[in-house]
Amino acid sequence: MPPTHVDLSDVAVVDNHCHGVERGAGGGDVGGWRSLFSESPDPMMRTEAVADTVFYQRLVTEMARHHGVAAGEADVLAARAPYGDAELARRLFTDAGVGALVIDTGYPDPAACLQVDELGTEVALLLRLELELQDLVAAAPTYDDLLGATRANLEGARSRGFAGFKSIAGYRTGLDIRRWPRDEATASFAEARREVELTGSVRLGHKPLLDTLLHVAFEVAAAEQLPVQFHVGYGDPDADLRSAHPLLLRDVLEERAYRHMPVVLLHGCWPFFREGAYLAAVYGNAFLDLSYGIPFLSRPEMRSMTRAALGAAPLSKLMYSSDGARVPELHWMGAHDGRRLIGAALGELVDDGDLTAAQARRGGEQVLRDNARTLYGLGGGA
Ligand SMILES: [Zn+2]
């Protein structure tokens, strides 16, 4: 008997973690195009070795198939070139059945990106905490002013149109977000203020201060039941995997006061996806994001992540994403891959007698669409 595949082709996905489409991105030379698909800080890796990754070769193949051209970089770049940024994005989102995007506005700069009404799909926006916090540090004359301004600013996030927060502590100061004595936090604030005085701004990598401000953010998120997405594991050239391990979030997850703050562990926590699935299985407020665009993985490796997640966590705690950024091809291929791999993994569960066909179909709808619609308050939630 052929393996069962749960058909989810009619399910419009909610891309629960992605980034904006940047005007003009991908329109330059081949080296610039390739570097969109690498997280390495090494220029050789970004412009040469990336072309030898399985992910990149699959991307070129899929783009060639979509545009009906030969499978070479020059051919696919020529095929995408005639479309305007918005037209290309809308065509690809329609082709991939993207029903909604949850966009992290921290990268790229929203001013360089297509506007929400150009994307042709429903959109929810997330506030990048560290960028907001460093602006507040730069504007605050005293530490107590900063604490008050942070709370007031974040309490206004919903009314400014944000559906949640995103934290990049995982690649700034680490996911072991602690409570610090006041004197250490104020010393850290003084250091950050010196950086402001010298340069006019601050890159908030001052751990006692950032941790303290994140706790203010978590109190607001818990009170307002705002989801908080955490960068976990792979991604970004300055990520240190040793401090981006999901188990480091234990203190935050154990905190009773944060039980009503939904915590979304991004990127499938890859390569720590079993730990991520465990956390989503144990903590009522922990959700695992299954990302199919970034990390840049082969299909078998994405299948491993999918199997581990479906195998351990409640299906109500998993959410599809692409983590696509800058060019819409990532959101597009991620949606096709995610739908297909989740359908295949659910099919295996049917064949093994874990799920009925109806349960598997329902699970696919939850992971691709309904869980995120409910969590981010998008219309049509289940
Ligand atoms: Zn991201």
Q: Residue 380's pLDDT is what?
A: 62
Query: Is residue 281 in a domain?
Result: yes
Looking at the structure, tell me whether residues 177 and 92 fall in a common domain.
Answer: yes
In a domain, 227, yes or no: yes
Residue 353 CA to ligand 1 center (angstroms) comes to 35
**Domain ranges, residue 169:** 13-23+84-375
Which residues of the chain, if any, have pLDDT below 70?
380-382
Same domain? 270 vs 323: yes
Q: Are residues 241 and 343 in the same domain?
A: yes
Any idea what the CATH number is for the domain that residue 236 is in? 3.20.20.140
Q: What is the 3-state secondary structure (H, E, C) of 137-184?
A: HHHCCCHHHHHHHHHHHHHCCHHHCEEEEEECHHHCCCCCCCCCCHHH
381 falls within a domain? no
Question: 300: which 2 tokens?
Answer: 């078998």
Distance in angstroms (rounded) separating the CA atoms of residues 286 and 274 = 14
Residues by chain with Cβ below 5 Å of ion ligand 1 = 323
Name the packing angle between helices 85-95 and 328-351 (round to 10°): 10
Instruction: Decide which of 61, 80, 99 is a domain's last residue.
Output: 80
User: Is 327 part of a structural domain of the chain?
Assistant: yes
CA of 325 to the centre of ligand 1 (A): 7
Q: Is 17 helix (H, G, I), strand (E, B) or coil?
A: strand
CA of 115: how far to CAs of 22, 84, 89, 183, 270, in Å? Answer: 10, 14, 12, 43, 30
Identify whether residues 334 and 252 lie together within a single domain. Answer: yes
Exposed (0-12), middle (13-18) or buried (19+): which is 131, by Cβ within 10 Å?
middle
Residues 94 and 190 placed together within one structural domain of the fold: yes
Is there a domain that residue 6 lies in?
A: no
Coil, helix or strand at residue 47: helix
Instruction: Determine the distance separating the centroid of ligand 1 and the alpha carbon of 324, expressed in angstroms.
Output: 7
End position of a domain, from candidates 80, 103, 118: 80
* 73 and 145 share one domain: no
Which pLDDT score is estimated for 23? 97
Q: How many domains does the chain have?
A: 2
What is the structure's pLDDT at 382?
44
User: Domain check: are 34 and 95 in the same one?
Assistant: no
Centre of ligand 1 to C-alpha 267, Å, is 8
Residue 249 corresponds to which tokens in the numbers above?
């979030």
Q: Is 382 helix (H, G, I), strand (E, B) or coil?
A: coil
Taking the model in full, what pTM does it have? Answer: 0.96
Confidence (pLDDT) at 376: 98
Three-state SS at 99: strand
Domain assignment present for 382: no
- Distance between Cα 17 and ligand 1 center (Å): 6
Residues 210, 69 within the same domain: no
Q: What is the pLDDT of residues 306-360, one digit of tens each?
A: 999 999 999 999 999 999 999 999 999 999 999 999 999 999 999 999 999 999 9
Cα 70 to the center of its chain, rounded Å: 32
Tokens of residue 253, six digits: 């997850």
Alpha carbon of 373 to ligand 1 centroid (Å): 18
Largest Cα–Cα distance in the chain? 70
Residue 68 lies in a domain: yes
